[in-house]
Amino acid sequence: MQTRMIDKQWSEKYPGVGKGPVATEPCISPEYFERERELIFRRHWLNVGRVDEIPTAGKYFVRELEVCKVSVLVVRGNDDQVRAFHNVCPHRGNTLVLNERGTCPGRFGCGFHSWAFTPEGKLAFVPDEENFFDLDKSQYGLSAINCEVWEGFIFINLAPMPKQSLREFLGGVATQLDNSPFSEMKLLKTYKVEENANWKTGLDAQNELYHLPFQHRYTIGDSFLLKDGKYCRFSNVNLYNYHSVWSCEYNPAHKPLPTEALLNRMDSALTNIRFDKRISDFDWYLIFPNMALLLFTGPSGDFFMTYNFWPLSVDRCLWEMRYHFPPAENVGQRLAQEWTIGQLRDTLMEDAFQHEKIQKGLASRACSHMVMQDEEITIRHFHEVLECEMAKV
């Protein structure tokens, strides 16, 4: 056991992080939300997907970033490079691609006047071109959005000139997880839920285990190591410039359910894909501002999840959850994966319910601040980073 069940160890490790109350206003203030659009979501690298969603030339997907009122077209060019563009025809501003995903049939054609663009974003054809006035087609390619890829995760940045590369921004997270076998795992399942909650209300509620034995007592309350059989404790916390990770160990005293026990016993595969750089059984990374990356160990291979919390308004967000597993070799492995997905899904459905109840409580302004203990240090850290970024005008 690597977990030390001692009190207040994380604030001792990171004495620079505060211990006082955290304001609730950022989760309920419309004015704060308007500033977040500019200062957070238009200035930082945002994860919009993975390269395996667009494995071959011409494949694309579209993400609607409502918080920035931007539609992003992410496409793999014939040169194999992944690029992001505003999903807008530069002729008269029409929305270019209407499908959520697909394969570019050679050209992206605008539905308005049939201007046509290559998967690399160049303007290739203009109907009745001779009737324009000195039209320089090289000036009217799709408007590019900064796009960089780390370990298969696609990030975009809406700032005209990002102040850091993606690599610099990820910092210690990238160092920790470079060369991990993410690409050997495939997207198996996605869940999406529109919540009546501020995006941070959802993210904060996920960013700790203190609640686990209580809110999830019917589902996964005993899955992780407990102090005195009662309280969850992290085995490690690392804080980075913008990001953080907490880790925990599975509970050896966990009592598996009958189907769970059988499936664990029958879960076998020849390949055994592992994250060598896992810190503990379960690592939960917050990648600022709105992404979480979760690494799990499983009986016949590791797996990972991502969360993306997309703000829709001050009190609404879209929570996307994606599960990536090693491709199942046999039914035993597939059923075990499905059981794990379902178990976590039910827990996340409890969370989604809770997020809305928390938002309702915060919106009532009954409390002006939140009180947090040592196992909630990564939430504190996130709010400190947020405040710091919001202060940069």
* Binding letters toward other proteins, positions 356-375, x by CB under 8 A: x-------------------
- For residue 135, count other CB atoms closer than 10 A to its CB: 14
SS3 letters for 144-176? EEEEEEECCEEEEECCCCCCCCHHHHHCHHHHH
Cβ proximity to other proteins, 66 vs 120, nearer residue: 66
How many angstroms separate the CA atoms of 367 and 365, rounded?
5
Confirm if 367 and 24 have CB atoms less than 8 A apart.
yes
HSE at residue 19, side-chain half, CA atoms within 13 A, is 9
Report if residue 186 touches other proteins, rule: CB under 8 A. no
Interacting residues with other proteins between 53 and 112 (CB under 8 A): none
C-beta pairs of 263-267 under 8 Å, 24+ apart in sequence: 263/332, 263/335, 263/336, 263/339, 264/299, 264/336, 266/332, 266/335, 266/336, 267/298, 267/299, 267/300, 267/332, 267/333, 267/335, 267/336
Report if residue 194 touches other proteins, rule: CB under 8 A. yes
From 113-121, 150-158, 182-190, 244-252, span contacting other proteins (CB under 8 A) = 182-190
Report if residue 346 touches other proteins, rule: CB under 8 A. yes
With CB under 8 A as the contact rule, the residue among 82, 203, 348, 358 that binds other proteins is 348
Report if residue 313 touches other proteins, rule: CB under 8 A. no
> What does the block give as tokens for 264?
């664990």
Report if residue 191 touches other proteins, rule: CB under 8 A. yes
With CB under 8 A as the contact rule, the residue among 332, 363, 373, 384 that binds other proteins is 332
With CB under 8 A as the contact rule, the residue among 184, 345, 370, 389 that binds other proteins is 345
How many angstroms separate the CA atoms of 162 and 146, rounded?
8
> What does the block give as tokens for 70?
């931007």
From 34-42, 105-113, 261-269, 304-312, span contacting other proteins (CB under 8 A) = 261-269
Report if residue 312 touches other proteins, rule: CB under 8 A. no
Instruction: Output the smallest distance, CB 191 to other proteins, in A.
Output: 6
Q: How far is CA 9 from the centre of its chain?
A: 28
Task: Report the DSSP beta bridge partners of residue 144.
Answer: 85
From 284-292, 295-303, 339-347, 371-379, span contacting other proteins (CB under 8 A) = 339-347
With CB under 8 A as the contact rule, the residue among 334, 363, 373, 389 that binds other proteins is 334
Instruction: Output the smallest distance, CB 319 to other proteins, in A.
Output: 9
First to last CA, the chain: 46
Confirm if 126 and 157 have CB atoms less than 8 A apart.
no
With CB under 8 A as the contact rule, the residue among 330, 360, 361, 387 that binds other proteins is 330
- Tracing tokens 């989760």 back to the chain, one arrives at 27
Interacting residues with other proteins between 140 and 159 (CB under 8 A): none
Cβ proximity to other proteins, 169 vs 224, nearer residue: 224
Cβ proximity to other proteins, 269 vs 385, nearer residue: 269
C-beta pairs of 10-18 under 8 Å, 24+ apart in sequence: 10/234, 10/237, 10/374, 10/375, 10/377, 11/374, 11/377, 13/237, 14/237, 14/239, 14/377, 14/381, 17/239, 17/377, 17/380, 17/381, 17/384, 18/380, 18/384
With CB under 8 A as the contact rule, the residue among 16, 20, 139, 218 that binds other proteins is 218
Report if residue 189 touches other proteins, rule: CB under 8 A. yes
Cβ proximity to other proteins, 151 vs 356, nearer residue: 356
Instruction: Output the smallest distance, CB 204 to other proteins, in A.
Output: 17
What is the contact surface with other proteins in residues (CB under 8 A)? 188-195, 218-219, 257-260, 262-263, 266, 327-335, 338-339, 342-343, 345-346, 348-350, 352-354, 356
